[in-house]
Structure formats: structure tokens, C-alpha cells
Amino acid sequence: MSPQSIVVNLPSGKGLEFVPERGRNYQLTVYSGSKNTRSYDGELSSDGESLTFRNIDLALSPDNLESAVWVAVKANQTALAGTTQLTFKMGGVESASTPIEVTEG
């Protein structure tokens, strides 16, 4: 598979925000079936609601048909308790993240 662009969106109105890693860079981490990880720097949108990552190698092959990806987020002071999800978009296909449980305290 050729390198991909991935856009990650926060759920609207849930009080989540992206967290920079390794200093000031927002990162997408790819975990391949061969148990390797690789991180890619991304660009935060002007409204802070999405991250865009370009030229992402998902490390897919005939022997490795699955990869997992993730980004760092945190709940801010306006976050409401409950379950929510991020949205990952690649090649016109959207996929929800695993559930994120926001708790008080």
C-alpha cells in the first residue's frame, strides 16, 4: 500500500484536545503486526479540532494485513463525563476510534 494521508477529528463539544508529544509536535503512532512502532508528525488545524498527517506508511504487507494507529488527547476543564470517540479518515473512509471514557476528577 502506498503512503496515506490520515485526518483525525475530535468529537464536537466534548471538551477534548490534542496533546503535543516530543516537545511541540503532534504525533500519530503506527503499530504494525510485526510489533514495530513508528511516529509521524502532524499539523494541527487552525481551530484545533483536527490533525492531518501525510505520507503515512501503515506497514501493511501480505503477511501483515492490520495496523493500529493512535494520537494523544486529553480532557480539558469543559469536558463532560461520558464515553466519546475520535474519528480517523483515510482515503475517504471514516473510522471511529476505540471508546474514550472521560471521568470527573
Query: Which pLDDT tens digit goes with each residue over 55-90?
Result: 999 988 777 788 899 999 999 999 989 999 999 999
Return d(Cα 103, Cα 5) in angstroms, integer.
32
Asked whether residue 79 is domain-assigned, the answer is yes
By residue count, the chain amounts to 105
pLDDT at 96 over 90: yes
Total number of domains constituting the chain: 1
pTM score, whole prediction: 0.91
Residue 105 lies in a domain: no
Answer yes or no: is 104 within a domain. no
* Residues whose CB falls within 8 Å of the CB of residue 27, separated by 6 or more in sequence, listed in order: 20, 21, 39, 40, 41, 42, 71, 72
| Residue 92 within a domain | yes
For the chain, give the mean pLDDT.
Answer: 92
Domain with 87 in it: 4-99
Q: Which amino acid is at 102?
A: V
All three cell numbers of 26, joined, read: 503532534
Q: Work out the pLDDT band at 19, boundaries 50, 70, 90.
A: very high
Maximum average pLDDT range among 23-27, 48-52, 64-68: 48-52
For 39-48, the CB contacts below 8 A with 24+ separation are: 42/8, 42/71, 44/18, 48/10, 48/17, 48/18
Q: Give me 13's grid cell.
A: 463539544
